[in-house]
Amino acid sequence: MNKKEYLDSLEKELEGMSYKEAKDILSDITEHFDSGIQAGKTEEEIAEGLGDAAEMAREFKKGLTLPAVIKNKQKFEDAKKTGPDTFGVVFVVLMAIFVAIPLWITIFAALFFVASVFVGILGIIGVLIAGVVSGMFSGFVLSAIFAALTLLFFDIFVFVCMFLGFKYLFKLTGVYVKWSKKVWYQGLE
């Protein structure tokens, strides 16, 4: 990725920041490229050294400056070379065993429960409709159909809530994995 491509990608990722902040960040990155080129590096080497533009933008949105972002990146790369931090490894494994894995098991069990209730309610509605059509049921049919439909709509509501919960849980899991990777190599600082 050359200088222009990197700056264009970073500018796109900085959407949502104020114009002045984004302009200052892009100016700092341009200066970083210019000084790197003067030192004899290629644009591709400089872009590779800066890392992913989306990750860089996230760091800037946290309020960090270019030197702090580069220092954090270098610190992480150095920690990766020396190997994992023993305490960090133990902590990440314990968090996975006692928090992450049971949470996912619980969520999948709840999803299975909602799906099975949904199928059961559809079965009840089918039986009631078949009874009405064949003339087997009498007075309680309307109340039974109303109760089954109420349960069906409640189940759909719970299912939608769980769907939205899963959506955000996947995002949080991504954040958790990145955090675990950092703790794995750097320990708790």
- pTM greater than 0.85 (yes/no): no
Long-range pairs, 56-62, Cβ under 8 A, ≥24: 56/10, 56/13, 56/29, 57/10, 57/13, 57/14, 58/13, 60/14, 60/17, 60/21, 60/25, 61/14, 61/16, 61/17
**31, 54, 82 — which closes off a domain?**
82
73 and 121 belong to one structural domain: no
Confidence check: pLDDT of 109 > 70: yes
118 and 180 belong to one structural domain: yes
Q: How many domains does the chain have?
A: 2
Please give the pLDDT value at position 136: 66
The pLDDT > 90 percentage for the chain reads: 0
20 and 68 belong to one structural domain: yes
Phi, psi of 137 (to 5 degrees): -95, 155
54 and 75 belong to one structural domain: yes
27 and 118 belong to one structural domain: no
Please give the residue range of the domain that contains residue 173: 86-186
pLDDT band at 77 (very low <50, low <70, confident <90, very high): low
Mean pLDDT of 66-90: 68
71 and 127 belong to one structural domain: no
The per-residue pLDDT of the chain, averaged, comes to 78
166 and 97 belong to one structural domain: yes
